């Protein structure tokens, strides 16, 4: 070891230096506290041996000064004196000295103590070396994490990234320097239904963000094409299993908010349960159904069922990541779902994001979160949703040829097939809907759902009039669809016209008994008048179609509807066409 010997008496200094050199150590001398401090600053010896009475600064004071100068790193100091009684040993220990020995320095105990100090110094050096390597590793990992976040965020097209600013969605996130992986995606279906995905990869750092890449594009593309939540969840599960190693999982929660129908749907795979807050910020209900994370199950075992609830005006859906719920404050208590509820309780809508962030910060009290923390609040407002909310795609050169395709569906297909996205995709492939995808989707989905719900499933809209009417409607629909054994719907789309004026004729027929067409009225109002506010919780589908249409036409028994969509009109309005 390199030893600095501080001794103002020359004879004692020489004797002590000789003892240390015989023991195999290098020795430097200082005859005062000031000289010792200067030597220490320049040379940083391994051990300082301090005589108890150097001039100016005594041994106790010098020990304190040396220990403070190197703190928090350990500096071994040995105090020597003519006599080391119990009082001196106590004061030396309190000052930071490791031992006190009496002159002359010839004892075996001192040699043994020097051996112990040498071993401890070696352990300290090894620990500091490992710590330096760890610092370099963490710095590299932090850079990888920064690059990964940038990569994931820029996987979205500018139009898709813009959807994160959807006015119905408030989101807050605090990234962790140690572990990352939270991702929020927001998209709109052609009918205006809001889709939100909060995902959290089952890994950390760069691998976490790489694990999220397979699900970003499919979520946006499938929402844009009008696929329902269950189908999107199943496809994302397949993408994770195909793209990632067998032991990788991605926890995700998918939400669909149909503002016009007043229904919120949730599929949860491995995330904390979502819950609803009423207009005053009180907890109103929770979502209980949970599935394993994406990638955990093969397709044949995957459960794509969603949980649906009707919502009241002013309610908000709250989604959180496990990093937020598991965050520990200074008391060691997790923030938890109740912490989120408490943070949001009684706050106005404009305050909630700011106040919730402040509550989280107070809970953590400056501690670093061990994982990304995310909080998402979704406004649920029952209002007419405008079609065409998907990012606009530039029109392609239109084929002037006419064509027609039709699809006839039996009970099995009606229960399991996503019909509207299928038809829309065929129309897109025929180069007919680039500028009118939103309008066509609304027409197809409203006509198809009307035929399925009322024609095939024989659902009575008056079910919705009771206090829990929408919940009853949803449960009844799910039960009847699961047990469907008969029934048929036929849909056809036909292009008519020429390069100067072109139309799509959409026809929907079901096997149900129909209804009294005169009750609906062939001369029902169109345009803005068709969208006059209604106190009834049904009839909004046809009202929306009438808003886009100059009229609708029914066959005599009411189980077939025909409409035309102009491919040349700037507004893409529907014009009624008498059934031939």
- For residue 39, tell me if it sits in a domain: yes
Cβ atoms of 40 and 16 closer than 8 Å = no
pLDDT level of residue 489 (50, 70, 90 thresholds):
very high
Residue-level pLDDT at 526: 45
Dump the DSSP string for 295-326: TSS-GGG-----EEEE--TT-EEEEE-HHHHT
- For residue 133, tell me if it sits in a domain: no
Dump the DSSP string for 227-258: --HHHHHHHHHHHHHHHS-TT--EEEEEEEEE
State whether 92 and 222 are in the same domain. Answer: no
Of all residues in the chain, the percent with pLDDT exceeding 70 is: 78
Name the domain boundary from 379, 396, 426: 379
The phi-psi region of residue 274 (left if phi > 0; otherwise alpha if psi is between -120 and 50; otherwise beta) is beta
Q: What share of the chain is helix, strand, coil (3-state, %, to 5)?
A: 40, 20, 35
Question: Tokens for 356?
Answer: 């919730």
The per-residue pLDDT of the chain, averaged, comes to 80
Q: Please name the residues in contact with 436: beta carbons below 8 A apart, sequence gap of 6 or more.
A: 504, 565, 567, 572
For residues 179 and 576, give the distance between their C-alpha atoms in angstroms, rounded to a whole number: 58
State whether 43 and 84 are in the same domain. Answer: yes
pLDDT value at 143 more than 90: no
CATH number of the domain residue 326 falls in: 3.60.40.10
- For residue 149, tell me if it sits in a domain: no
Q: 33-42, 296-305, 443-452, 473-482 — which one is most confidently predicted on average?
A: 296-305
Say how many C-beta atoms besides its own lie within 10 A of residue 507's C-beta. 20
State whether 114 and 205 are in the same domain. Answer: no
- For residue 138, tell me if it sits in a domain: no
The tens digit of pLDDT for each residue in 403-433 reads 888 889 999 989 888 888 887 777 777 665 5
pLDDT level of residue 478 (50, 70, 90 thresholds):
confident
Into how many domains does the chain fold?
3
CATH number of the domain residue 110 falls in: 3.40.50.2300
Q: Please name the residues in contact with 333: beta carbons below 8 A apart, sequence gap of 6 or more.
A: none
pLDDT level of residue 379 (50, 70, 90 thresholds):
confident
The arithmetic mean of pLDDT across residues 508-521, rounded, is 78
pTM of the model: 0.67
Cβ atoms of 88 and 53 closer than 8 Å = no
Phi and psi torsions of 409, nearest 5°: -120, 130
Residue-level pLDDT at 390: 47
State whether 98 and 181 are in the same domain. Answer: no
pLDDT value at 31 more than 80: yes
**DSSP symbol at 334:** B
State whether 110 and 162 are in the same domain. Answer: no
Dump the DSSP string for 223-235: HHTT--HHHHHHH
The arithmetic mean of pLDDT across residues 488-517, rounded, is 83
State whether 244 and 319 are in the same domain. Answer: yes
pLDDT value at 387 more than 50: no
Residue-level pLDDT at 233: 96
The tens digit of pLDDT for each residue in 34-82 reads 888 888 888 889 899 988 765 556 788 888 888 888 888 888 999 888 8
Strands 47-51 and 77-81: parallel
Residue-level pLDDT at 344: 74
Name the domain boundary from 125, 141, 163: 125
Q: Please name which of 443, 425, 445, 444 lies closest in space to residue 434, comparing C-alpha atoms.
A: 425
Domain that holds residue 414: 404-576
- For residue 409, tell me if it sits in a domain: yes
pLDDT value at 548 more than 60: yes
Cβ atoms of 281 and 344 closer than 8 Å = yes
pLDDT level of residue 159 (50, 70, 90 thresholds):
low
pLDDT level of residue 327 (50, 70, 90 thresholds):
confident
- CA 529, 532, 533 angle in degrees (round to 5)? 175
Say how many C-beta atoms besides its own lie within 10 A of residue 405's C-beta. 13
- For residue 481, tell me if it sits in a domain: yes
- For residue 139, tell me if it sits in a domain: no
């Amino acid at each position: 070891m390199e030893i600095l010997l501080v001794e103002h008496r020359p004879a004692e200094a020489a004797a002590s230096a000789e003892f240390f050199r015989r023991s195999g150590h290098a020795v430097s001398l200082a005859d005062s506290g000031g000289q010792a401090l200067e030597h220490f600053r320049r040379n940083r010896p391994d051990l300082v041996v301090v005589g108890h009475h150097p001039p100016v600064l005594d041994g106790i004071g010098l020990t304190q000064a040396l220990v403070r100068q190197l703190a928090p790193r350990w500096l071994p100091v040995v105090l020597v004196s003519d006599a080391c009684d119990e009082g001196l040993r106590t004061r030396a220990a309190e000052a930071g000295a490791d031992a006190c020995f009496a002159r002359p320095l010839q004892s075996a105990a001192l040699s043994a103590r020097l051996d112990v100090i040498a071993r401890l110094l070696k352990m300290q050096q090894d620990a500091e070396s490992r710590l330096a390597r760890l610092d370099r590793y963490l710095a590299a990992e932090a850079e990888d994490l920064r690059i990964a976040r940038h990569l994931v965020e820029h996987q979205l097209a500018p139009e898709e990234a813009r959807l994160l600013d959807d006015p119905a969605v408030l989101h807050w996130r605090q990234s962790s320097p140690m572990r990352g992986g939270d991702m929020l995606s927001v998209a709109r279906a052609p009918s205006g239904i809001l889709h939100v995905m909060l995902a959290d990869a089952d890994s950390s750092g760069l691998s976490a963000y790489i694990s999220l890449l397979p699900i970003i594009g499919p979520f946006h593309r499938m929402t844009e094409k009008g696929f329902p939540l269950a189908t999107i969840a199943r496809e994302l599960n397949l993408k994770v299993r195909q793209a990632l190693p067998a032991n990788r999982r991605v926890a995700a929660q998918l939400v669909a908010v149909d503002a016009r129908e007043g229904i919120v749907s949730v599929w949860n795979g491995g995330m904390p349960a979502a819950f609803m807050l009423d207009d005053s910020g009180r907890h109103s209900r929770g979502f209980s159904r949970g599935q394993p994370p994406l990638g955990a199950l093969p397709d044949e075992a995957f459960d794509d069922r969603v949980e649906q609830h009707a919502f009241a005006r002013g309610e908000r859906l709250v989604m959180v990541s496990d990093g937020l719920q598991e965050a520990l404050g200074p008391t060691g208590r997790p923030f938890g779902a109740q912490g989120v509820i408490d943070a949001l309780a009684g706050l106005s809508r404009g305050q909630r994001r700011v106040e919730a962030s402040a509550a989280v910060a107070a809970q953590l009290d400056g501690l670093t979160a061990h994982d990304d923390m995310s909080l998402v609040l979704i406004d649920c407002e029952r209002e007419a949703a405008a079609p065409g909310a998907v990012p606009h795609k530039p029109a392609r050169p239109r084929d002037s040829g006419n064509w027609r395709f039709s699809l006839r569906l039996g009970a099995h297909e009606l229960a399991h097939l996503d019909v509207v996205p299928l038809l829309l995709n065929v129309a897109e492939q025929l180069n007919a809907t680039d500028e009118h995808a939103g309008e066509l989707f609304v027409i197809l989905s409203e006509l198809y759902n009307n035929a399925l719900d009322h024609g095939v499933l024989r659902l009575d809209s008056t079910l919705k009039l009771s206090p829990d009417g929408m919940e009853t409607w949803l449960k009844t629909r799910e039960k009847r669809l699961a047990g469907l054994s008969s029934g048929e719907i036929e849909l056809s789309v036909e292009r008519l016209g020429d390069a100067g004026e072109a139309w799509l004729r959409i026809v929907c027929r079901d096997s149900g008994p129909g209804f009294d067409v005169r009750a609906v009225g062939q001369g029902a109002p169109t345009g803005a008048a068709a969208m006059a506010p209604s106190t009834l919780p049904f009839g909004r589908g046809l009202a929306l179609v009438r808003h886009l249409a100059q009229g609708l036409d029914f066959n005599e028994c009411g189980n077939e509807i025909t409409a035309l969509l102009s491919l040349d009109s700037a507004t893409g309005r529907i014009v009624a066409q008498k059934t031939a």
